[in-house]
Structure 1
Amino acid sequence: MKNLGSDSIPGEVIAYFEELRVKLAFRMSLMFLCIFSILSYTRYFESMESFSMMAVATIISACCLLIMKSNDRNYLLVFYIYSICGYIIVAFSLMVYHSRIHLVDVLWLMTVVFLAFFTLGRRLGYILLFLSIMVIGLFIFLHLDHQIRILKALTIYQKISLLIELIAAFSLNFYLFYLFLELNSYSEKKLLESYDQVKEQNTRILLQNEEKTTLVREIHHRVKNNLQIVVSLLRMQSQEVDNPEFRILFQESINRIMAMSLIHQRLYQNDNLSQIRIGDYLDELIREIMNLSITEQTVDYEIKTEVGKIGLKTLIPVGLLINELVANSLKHAFEDVTDARIQIEIQREEDNYLRITYSDNGVWKQQIGNSSFGLVLIDTLIEQLEGTKDVCMQGCGTTYTMVILNLEEKDILA
């Protein structure tokens, strides 16, 4: 019941705990005042030792009752007084007063420990438990034999007084146990209510997630359709162009748009709306490029990848990169090659980087200048992916080695 934070516990629960602690402090003070007043009267005729203990307990109970009747109702102060002062009184009685029976003192120590655990927290409860065990052990080893030797038979008056004290101690411990059961029952009730609320919230979240999934899927579908419209317009426009070089430029632009359109098409058809298997995507992309290519030569290709799925943020630039490289190979490399072949390999590097190796076995018929739009686009895309490239052109082929950053994994780590 201690340290209830308003940030994590509903106000209704906090109010319930506050009311329970106020109720406990007030009822304990009233009960103690009545019990110890009666015991003070009965012990007055027994011995001054017993009377002094009960009188001090009566005064403490009266002070605590006044605190609870005040406007502040500082129940924590009341619990601290009962726990600490109660332990001191009982421990003093065990170690100093040897002429009285200490049968009930163990019950009072139990009450002190239970009260501290229940109202002030585990730390103070454990401390008082340790101190109680220690004082009981000292009493048994140091004073129990002496007390047994000096004790006398009890009068009927003393037996009644002892019975009253035993009933009081048992009643208080039972009341604390009852409050614990009541608190446990209330907690179970709130737990069930919270479970129902969470279940209802999860159902609502699932419905919202389905709606958002449908919406995102529809967005990808519309983006793909819009890109297809752009492609159709470019094709219609290219048919009105007589210059073959201009038609090639139109086709290159169409290929670039198709590379992006294919991503949205796969996302629309995929269960995962944020990632695509890069191997499958590149396979379909290269087949589309070759189908749209003006060359009639058969080109074999192979894709090897250690990477499974890649997110949209990285996949679009990678798709455009591969589109440019494949288009350049088909356009410049395979005119005099009988067994044309393209190979793409994707490997994982450290720090969320990917190594993409693109190679063909063609003999390039001309050297592309640095001002070529395709090469400028390749450099721009690599820079966007915070990567580097290395080009090796030999008589039997060209190899591009690119090290790029997987932007999605970078964002996750960030």
Structure 2
Amino acid sequence: MRACIHRGSKEIGGSCIEVEQSGQRILLDLGLPLDAEFNTPRFLPPVRGLDGSDPSLLGILISHPHLDHYGLLAHVSPAVKVGLGASARRVLRAASDFVPGEWPLPNAGWDCRSGKSFDVGPFRVTPYLVDHSAYDAHALLIESGGKRLFYSGDFRGHGRKSALFERMVADAPRDIDALLVEGSSLSRLDANGTFPTESDVETQFADAFHQTHGLALVHTSAQNVDRIVSIYRAAKRTGRTLVIDLYAAAVLEATGNTNLPQSHWDSVALYVPHTQRLHIKKYFLFELLSKHSHNRVFERDLSGAPDRYALLFRPLHRNDLERARCLAGAHYVYSQWEGYWDRGMYDYLRAWLESHGIPRTCIHTSGHASPRDLKTFVQAIDAKHVVPIHSFRPDLYPDLFANVEAHADGEWWRV
């Protein structure tokens, strides 16, 4: 079995690994680079058969539904099979109703279920559900020709599914020839650094909500389901109702997990901003709206008692909130990677907050494993070779792990 990292050996995002056995091939992820301004075919790696013309490309396995791991699927022939978690597939389909342009929906293929092996030509594939900020994320064990390659995908040990990390460490796959392991945190924390847990984040939210005299605005991704749970729990602890829009309601329903907050729960309400109402009319999403309108609230509700609500905020809410005159005493909580803010992507939002005198707080934790948890994970798997991927600092791997074997983008190597 041979492998080639097409992108990711020295960067975070855009991950793509090609694996070959006896002339047949699979891809592990096909991500859009983080620095890509537009999703165009020019970012496709030099892999034969993405246009459906080469049957030796058996398919693409997507570890999890983040654009830097699946985003280039928009430029792949429908003839190429795609595998990922069944819930992840549903979430992406639900999200597609609200995203303009060429949204990369996965082709038909395999549904990954944790611990359930399946065959793709000469490859035996076993997915392992992992704790990550994307819902239904998996690590992937690939076996062929007597060799075993384990791809970590993106994972962590401090989220709401941390038991999955503990289970992996306690009963790790054995006899691994090559472990491709992400190292996103190696450019952010020192060798013994750790991140706050998702429970810590919940407590910080609750403290912020207690101190907010008006509407609590929480800016995060609706697809970060763990974070939605933290916000919901913090809102409930402080006597607030979590307000979501139709996009978030559709995503939460698509997980198929009835233990997650849903639009019909008593402590959840649906608010549909004007921009989204226009979108519903344009794309005839009336049935979806009706399904989630059990606890619908309107501008008059937000303006009448803003301190009763924690709004899952998106920038498209700005005009609605101004019209509702419900921003007195409001507090904006940013709950995403600070890099987006630091790079100026939200300068327009900064100006809007300042114009209304709304204070800003950042409450967040990473979707990636801390250096300490990376060391625990790598030691537990005890692979013959540890291969850096999804990291800006592959040079730091030998300081943390034994048996490091770095490979450059585009280099073919034997597992």
TM-score (norm 1): 0.22
Structure with bigger RCO (C-alpha 8 Å, 6+ apart): 2
TM-score (norm 2): 0.22
Radius of gyration: which is bigger?
A: 1
